[in-house]
Amino acid sequence: MCRLKIKEIIVVEGKDDVSAVKKAVDAQVIMTNGYSLDKKSQDLIKKASTIGNIIILTDSDYAGETIRKRVEKIAGKQNCKHAFIPREQSTKDGDIGVENARPESIIEALTKARCVRSDKTDTFSIYDIMQNKLQGGENSSLKRDYIGKFLGIGYSNAKQFLYRLNNFEITREEFELALQKYEEEDKNAN
């Protein structure tokens, strides 16, 4: 079965919400870590909102609504779409949350938010990650960290890094410049 691929970046509260959304659709997902909304999450949300709209999908409770308002303030109201899952479709054993929703309910909520379905071809592949020693190489983690900061997409494992390169619409030129800067700094450090 081919999952629906969504262009916008979806913002959710926690890691279980990320898992639930990824079961339903193929999309980049940013986690707020609940109320905390740390600097890293805020920076990713800001970066995502400069590229295009984000979709906010938080729990249907007071905390979820508060987080929704905070994310909207960070991203800018004009850059946000709102997806809502009714309480009766996201409650399990008295617990309200996106993580409790069935994939069909998540897809319906995103569709009603007028998500943009993506049919674009990815610029980067796993070959780019391996060729540039961003996975499995000596200091590959440090290299991803440096390049992620340089490009404004943050640190992540290799799989997530590849996903961010494509979904944050990083160009081949930007990527190569970041690699070049890393090599220059690495050379100067040694």
- Residue of higher predicted confidence among 56 and 118: 56
pLDDT score recorded for residue 75:
94
Quote the pTM value. 0.68
Beta strands in 17-162, from DSSP E residues, in sequence order: 25-26, 29-31, 54-56, 80-82, 91-92, 95-96
Whether the predicted pLDDT of 12 surpasses 70: yes
Whether the predicted pLDDT of 3 surpasses 90: no
Q: What whole-number distance in Å separates Cα of residue 105 and Cα of residue 94?
A: 18
pLDDT score recorded for residue 114:
85
> Right CATH number for 4-112 from 3.40.1360.10, 2.40.50.140, 3.40.50.300, 3.10.310.10?
3.40.1360.10
Token pair in block for residue 166: 């494509």
> pLDDT tens for residues 100-154?
999 999 999 998 888 766 666 778 988 899 899 999 888 999 999 999 999 988 8
Domain boundaries, the chain: 4-112, 126-189
Query: Do the bridges between strand 91-92 and strand 95-96 make them parallel or antiparallel, or are there none, so unpaired?
Result: antiparallel
Please state, rounded to an integer, the average pLDDT across all residues of the chain: 89
User: Alpha carbon of 109 to those of 21, 51, 96, 97, 123: distances in Å?
Assistant: 11, 22, 15, 13, 29
Whether the predicted pLDDT of 179 surpasses 70: yes
pLDDT score recorded for residue 132:
93
pLDDT band, residue 1 (cuts 50/70/90): very low
